[in-house]
Amino acid sequence: MLNYYDIDDILKALVEPTRRQIVERLSRGPASVSELARPFDMSLAAIVQHLQVLEESGLIRSEKIGRVRTCRIEPSGLDRIAGWVAERRSLMERRFDRLGEMLSQPAVDNQVNNQQEEKE
pLDDT tens digits along 34-56? 999 999 999 999 999 999 999 99
pLDDT tens digits along 94-104? 998 888 888 88
Helices (H), the chain: 4-14, 17-26, 33-37, 44-57, 75-104, 106-119
In terms of Cα–Cα distance, which of 2, 79, 16 is closest to 51? 16
Please report which confidence band the pLDDT of residue 109 belongs to, taking 50, 70 and 90 as the band edges: low
List, in order of start, the domains of the chain with CATH numbers: 1-114 (1.10.10.10)
Global confidence as pTM: 0.74
What is the number of residues in the chain? 120
Start-to-end Cα distance in the chain: 55
